[in-house]
Amino acid sequence: MSYAPAPIKPTIPFADFEKLDIRVGTILRIEDIEGSNKLLRLVVSIGDHERNILAGIKLERDDPSELVGRQALFVVNLEPRKMMGHTSEGMLFDIGYADGVTPVLAVPERPVPDGVRAG
């Protein structure tokens, strides 16, 4: 497959990057969002609590339930966002969607405690 990377975005101060809170979480459950052809609710352990994170991954995978039990990276300090009548408390940090590549999870190379920070 041939792929040309997108241009690099403008430089930002390191302090702006430090504002993001990216953490490892384990996907405990995946639930359908009725009426949506894209959204699924991921119930994610962030260590000391669980979060509902809505992700538009329904059509990206043959069997999204295969993600249950997997660790991935999540942005956990975004303002809660209402979608299809449900609230998302973060964002799945996946790789490829913005570039038209079939998305994959951003995962730690070996298991780490839920809630560990990236960066």
Q: For residue 95, what is the domain's CATH number?
A: 2.40.50.140
Given CA atoms 83, 86, 90, 93 in this order, what sign does their dihedral have?
negative
In a domain, 96, yes or no: yes
- Tally of CB atoms within 10 A around 41: 20
In a domain, 114, yes or no: no
* Number of folded domains that form the chain: 1
- The range of the structural domain enclosing residue 91 comes to 25-105
Identify the pLDDT of residue 97. Answer: 85
pLDDT, block means (10 residues), the chain with 119 residues: 88 96 98 95 98 95 94 97 97 90 93 96
Identify the pLDDT of residue 100. Answer: 86
In a domain, 12, yes or no: no
Phi, psi of 33 (to 5 degrees): -100, 105
In a domain, 18, yes or no: no
pTM: 0.92
